[in-house]
Amino acid sequence: MKIRPKRLQKGDTVGIIAPSSPPNIERLTKALDFLEELGLRYVLGNTIQRREHYLAGTDRERAADLQEMIEDPTIKAIFCASGGYGAARIADRIDYLLLEENPKIFWGFSDITFLHTAIGMYADLVTFHGPTLSSIGREQVAERTKLMFNQLFEPAEIYYDESISKLTTISGGRARGELTGGNLTLLVNSLATKFEINTDGKILLIEDIGLEPAQIDSLLNQLKQARKFERVAGIVVGDFVETNQREYEDSPTLHELLNSYFGHMNIPVVSGFKIGHDELNVGIPLGVDAILDADNKELAILPGVE
């Protein structure tokens, strides 16, 4: 069982970093107000306003930001300000043993998936797949998206059924396993590296944005050829937004594509979870046990903090 970080208390200080691309400062500013509403204080990393082409500073600078937040005992949680691209470039620069010895909340999604995988593997720590602060600062943010931050203050099981969004069973059954995964592109990027995603006996979450069906097909095929679906316990399909066909006019629908990969599998597979790139982004812990019941279209996830 992975280490659960300690819950947050009102008045705690959290660190904000940009391990990938530069954040939208206007949106981030609004998100900082939200953190204050939660009763939190914050410290901004040095690279929040830096830019190195499409990165928020150099690899050395971004890694140093994360490392300093890990080392600082007054920082109780680390929130990623933005996604984009670049987190994988600093994955081999982090002292994971230090993070394991000083466990704290780590929160983000999208490009941050690579760091979730790395931290889960080398620090043995539960992390949180939730909206970046820049996305919290958008004009339209679902109330439930913000409410999911409450799980950091009080251990609570997350229960997701069709009262939240319409769900579709692709393959029936029920399974329990450690929840892992995140952004599909980043999961594939981990293959053949020392941070390669381990799906054996696990409930795998996949989500992505801006990919047409042929691209999703290619990524799923690569995971299949890498044998990542052979011993997986179940699959949670999160949001796949902006999936309109572009290059190939005769494309399958997302459901048809998912069914071609998972419909014949003897494991539970359910799609439609609002976990990912949408106005409603349900933040969840990774590295804890979850139960996926495809027949009843239910997902139960154990608490991520202690």
Q: Tokens 């019941």 appear where?
A: 293
Domain boundary among 99, 121, 152: 152
Range of the domain at 268: 158-301
Q: What is the pLDDT of residues 217-248, one digit of tens each?
A: 999 999 999 999 999 999 999 999 998 888 88
- Could you say which of 21, 116, 190, 207 is catalytic? 207
Domain boundary among 152, 175, 194: 152
What does the pLDDT profile of the chain (306 residues) look like in tens digits?
899 999 999 999 999 999 999 999 999 999 999 999 999 999 999 999 999 999 999 999 999 999 999 999 999 999 999 999 999 999 999 999 999 999 999 999 999 999 999 999 999 999 999 999 999 998 889 999 999 999 999 999 999 999 999 999 999 999 999 999 999 999 999 999 999 999 999 999 999 999 999 999 999 999 999 999 999 999 999 999 998 888 888 999 999 999 999 999 999 999 999 999 999 999 999 999 999 999 999 999 999 999
Q: What is the pLDDT of residues 173-218, one digit of tens each?
A: 999 999 999 999 999 999 999 999 999 999 999 999 999 999 999 9
- Could you say which of 20, 21, 82, 110 is catalytic? 110
Any catalytic annotation for residue 277? yes
1 assigned to some structural domain: no
Domain boundary among 108, 132, 152: 152
Shared-domain flag, residues 77 and 109: yes
Q: Give me the amino acid identity at 63.
A: A
Any catalytic annotation for residue 129? no
**Token pair in block for residue 210:** 């801006």
Number of structural domains the chain divides into: 2
Any catalytic annotation for residue 135? no
- Could you say which of 82, 171, 251, 277 is catalytic? 277
Shared-domain flag, residues 117 and 219: no
Residue 132 near residue 82 (C-beta atoms within 8 A): yes
70 assigned to some structural domain: yes
Close Cβ partners of 92 (under 8 Å, ≥ 6 residues apart):
194
Shared-domain flag, residues 163 and 143: no
Shared-domain flag, residues 86 and 61: yes
From the CB of residue 288, how many other CB atoms can be counted at a distance below 10 Å? 20
Q: Give me the amino acid identity at 227.
A: R
296 assigned to some structural domain: yes
Shared-domain flag, residues 213 and 138: no
8 assigned to some structural domain: no
H-state helical runs in the chain: 25-37, 59-71, 96-101, 113-122, 133-136, 143-147, 184-189, 213-225, 254-262
6 assigned to some structural domain: no
Backbone angles phi, psi at 52, to 5 degrees: -130, 85
Shared-domain flag, residues 198 and 106: no
